[in-house]
Amino acid sequence: MISKDLLQKLNEQIGLEFESANIYLQMSSWCAANGLDGCASFLRAHTAEEMSHMFRLFDYVNEIGEMAIIPEIPKPRAEYENVRELFSATLEHEKYITRKINELTAAAFEDKDFSTFNFLQWYVAEQHEEEALFNKILDLVDMVGHEGRGLYHLDKEITTISADVVAGPSASTEMPG
């Protein structure tokens, strides 16, 4: 049986995945409003991926006979100076999520809850991919630039990354039913 403390942490993580989805959805709106349709569609696809992270946790909590409680979700930031600042914020956010997943995994281990510990391994691997993805995008931003013609190329290139992400094994945009 899962401890109260660990259950609360899983519910908090459900909230964090919702928060990630909302952050990226809001970012996609900023991109669309600034004429960056490629970035907007990449971030929208990533929103669906975050929702799949949320559903995976939600289903796990229900499967172990507990009730998932969705916490309050903070309002996402809506304004950015430029697209570099926006993608820099995505990487910082993913680093924060990695820290939270690590804390959660450590708590499961300390509780000797090896079923939950095993379940969380997927998130440990996923966070490695998430950080690598946003690092790659930031490198791209720095290579092509984020002004004038560079911005046009960046928006086109992001569409390619977007296609890779959608095709990737762990990056399904489908929401588990």
Residues that bind ligand OFO (CB under 6 A): 17, 20, 50, 53, 94, 97, 130
Report, in Å, the least distance between residue 43 CB and ligand OFO.
11
Q: Quick one: 20 or 26, whose CB is closer to ligand OFO?
A: 20
Residue 151, CB-side half-sphere exposure with 13 Å CA sphere: 11
The CA R_g of the chain, rounded to the nearest whole Å, is: 17
Report, in Å, the least distance between residue 145 CB and ligand OFO.
26
Residue of this chain nearest to ligand OFO (CB atom): 20
Q: Quick one: 60 or 151, whose CB is closer to ligand OFO?
A: 60
Report, in Å, the least distance between residue 130 CB and ligand OFO.
4
Q: Indicate the DSSP class of residue 33.
A: H
Q: Quick one: 66 or 129, whose CB is closer to ligand OFO?
A: 129
Report, in Å, the least distance between residue 50 CB and ligand OFO.
5
Q: For residues 17 and 51, give the distance between their C-alpha atoms in angstroms, rounded to a whole number.
A: 7
Q: Quick one: 94 or 157, whose CB is closer to ligand OFO?
A: 94
Q: For residues 166 and 46, give the distance between their C-alpha atoms in angstroms, rounded to a whole number.
A: 9
DSSP helix/strand/coil, 173: coil
Structure tokens at 138: 């930031």
Q: Quick one: 100 or 153, whose CB is closer to ligand OFO?
A: 100
Query: Hey, what amino acid is at 41?
Result: S
Residue 62 parent element (H or E)? helix 37-63
Q: For residues 10 and 5, give the distance between their C-alpha atoms in angstroms, rounded to a whole number.
A: 9
Report, in Å, the least distance between residue 113 CB and ligand OFO.
21
